[in-house]
Amino acid sequence: MDNSQNEFKPYIPAEKITPEITLTSIVMGIILAVIFGAANAYLGLRVGMTVSASIPAAVLAMGVIRVIMRKNSILESNIVQTIGSAGESVAAGAIFTLPALFLWASSGTMEKPDIIEITLIALLGGLLGVFFMVPLRNALIVKEHGILPYPEGQACAEVLLAGEEKGANASTVFAGMGIAAFFKFVIDGLRAVPGEISFKIQGAGYRGEIGTQIYPAVMSVGYICGPRISSYMFAGGILSWLVVIPLIVFFGESVIVYPGTLSIGDIYAESGASGIWSGYIRYIGAGALAAGGIISLLKSLPLIVRTFIDAMKSIAGAGNGNIDRISRDINMKTVIGAIVILTILVWLVPAIPVTFIGAVIVVIFGFFFATVSSRMVGIVGSSNNPVSGMSIATLLIATVALKITGSSGAEGMRSAIAIGSIICIVAAISGDTSQDLKTGYLLGATPKKQQLAEIVGVVAASLAIGGTLYLLDSAWGFGSEELAAPQATLMKMIVEGVMEGNLPWTLVFIGIFIAMVVEIVGIPVLPFAIGIYLPVHLNVCIMAGGLIRLAFNRMKKEENVKNSIISDGILFCSGMIAGEGLVGIVLAVLAVIGIDKYINISDIIELPKAVSSTLSIVVFALIILSLLRFSVFRKRKNN
């Protein structure tokens, strides 16, 4: 493929017509949208990060359509991944914000949002994200082809073009799903081994703690993100658990420090380092996360302004005169009409607590951040898209505007989160749609059909996300050890801080200045801040995956063999994330209906801590060996 726009020819030429939107592609896409949406909701609430579903969805589509159904239709497979990946993006936008409403409900501040409210917020945000991207396609995907790489979009196209492998890639994803499902059920279903190992480091007045989780999905996040991002998160965890927590205990052992109600020493004696983390470190991490998001946004300002100007020019010159298939978008009049209707619905639908001012903020910031999100993922990829930073900026402005106009208290906080949720989903969907349109551009898909497919995926995922959030909250509760919901907790803190002024600002400012120091020394702030905010056990498990990826990167093998091994590892880890997420949903169902206690064998067989910890290490080693089996060992056998 030539990277110059004038000479570029897609894989399927414009004059050739092949199946795209079919019953098969719609049904498969909807199933994958719901599956990956639920799995990523669970993962994001656990570790504060989601992973792109485009490549695993493409692999599964290729495996079913090309290998099982024996249909040679690459554009049909592309529609499946387009619909399927929308589920992950809707989930990402929703779980970063909407659990804040559940957290307030658990404290008695307000009632829980009902499923209709969650569904409508997700649906309106998702549809706005798709429609905002229609006029941007020509400016960013076509005119800047060869300038904006859109890494996930290109990777997804390459996966689909490699369909002649006859399903080997699909089998790798399925193997990862099955193996992770088994281990997740053993760890959290049967509770045969602890899911976390901890070691206290004490002596001469020093009190710290280190340890690791042993979950397949958490390790897989580290492998997919790679050693650099994993190491930044790990460094943040080391700072909080081996530096800041020991400092807090050392200097404040006999002191009661707000927001705690017991002395630091009593908290440590009762709950260990986890108690100090829960009561104090999370606020420091929240400050670092907020500062990191805003810093990322400020650094992108020149890019943001340029992109916004280009988008305005694109809309001014947009038309539907292009008649060839690969240049055909949804009609611009339809797009503008849809955006107007959706904005009015945001304002007038009773289930969504947004005022007229809030609806105006949604449409202005929504389109603004859609342009930002699209260009950002074109350069750095979806995983590094600062969606949370955009949401933080929106929340701050929306909360201040609502408070000035008289919307305060529970009503104002609920409205602010609704606005932030819609913007967050807009940004996430815009980034996902951009990657999908890039894949389609390379393959020769019809843009209009892909845009319609995105709408199908948004609708399917929106209908499922409300039930998923209710299920997870009923099983474990947001903000718990099982579901930390870091971004949503941060959003809740920000809104409360503006509306009520009840944040422990000293801790928040400590986090802000830590973020500034980290930025000055050249370390990416957001992964480091997430590392501060999350438990160190989770960061260590992510680091383990990052180290495996580092070892793969440094293997002394032929480049094509090494790339193949790394690619197999990514597919296997994507499968493990999906498999663990799905079993997590199943276990949540069992917990809600009360069956979980009947399969829990930990109460029947009580093992000494040393023995149970050893078994956990053995299980973790088996999980790592399974990754090696479907990557390094497979290639050694075949090559």
- Residue 4: what pLDDT? 41
- Residue 73: what pLDDT? 79
Distance, in Å, from the CA atom of 290 to the CA atom of 298, rounded to the nearest integer, reads: 12
- Residue 100: what pLDDT? 92
Distance, in Å, from the CA atom of 214 to the CA atom of 592, rounded to the nearest integer, reads: 24
Which of 525, 125, 103 is closest to 291 using CA atoms?
525
Whether 62 shows a pLDDT value over 70: the answer reads yes
- Residue 313: what pLDDT? 67
Distance, in Å, from the CA atom of 154 to the CA atom of 219, rounded to the nearest integer, reads: 25
Q: What is the CA radius of gyration of the chain?
A: 24
pLDDT-above-70 percentage for the chain: 90
Quickly list DSSP for 92-156.
HHHHTTTHHHHHHHHTTSSPPPPHHHHHHHHHHHHHHHHHHHTTHIIIIIITTTTTS--HHHHHH
pLDDT per position as a tens digit, 80-89:
999 998 988 8
pLDDT per position as a tens digit, 426-473:
989 998 899 899 999 999 999 999 999 999 999 999 999 999 999 999
> Higher pLDDT residue, 520 or 366?
520
Distance, in Å, from the CA atom of 129 to the CA atom of 237, rounded to the nearest integer, reads: 34
pLDDT per position as a tens digit, 560-602:
889 889 988 988 988 888 788 778 888 888 887 888 888 888 8
Distance, in Å, from the CA atom of 115 to the CA atom of 118, rounded to the nearest integer, reads: 5
User: What pTM was estimated for this model as a whole?
Assistant: 0.75
Whether residue 121 contacts residue 359, with contact meaning beta carbons closer than 8 Å, is answered with no
Catalogue the long-range contacts made by 596-604 (C-beta closer than 8 Å, 24 or more residues apart). Answer: 596/189, 599/189, 599/190, 600/190, 600/191, 601/190, 601/191, 601/192, 602/191, 602/192
pLDDT per position as a tens digit, 411-429:
889 999 999 899 989 989 9
Task: Please state, rounded to an integer, the average pLDDT across all residues of the chain.
Answer: 84
Distance, in Å, from the CA atom of 601 to the CA atom of 617, rounded to the nearest integer, reads: 19
Q: What is the mean pLDDT of residues 609-618?
A: 92
The one-letter code for the residue type at 169 is N
**Cβ atoms < 10 Å from Cβ of 558:** 10
Listed ranges 112-126, 346-360, 474-488; the one with the highest mean pLDDT = 112-126
Whether residue 376 contacts residue 296, with contact meaning beta carbons closer than 8 Å, is answered with no
Q: List residues bridging with 198 in a β-sheet.
A: 211
Catalogue the long-range contacts made by 254-261 (C-beta closer than 8 Å, 24 or more residues apart). Answer: 258/504, 259/283, 259/504
Whether 164 shows a pLDDT value over 70: the answer reads no
Whether 558 shows a pLDDT value over 80: the answer reads yes
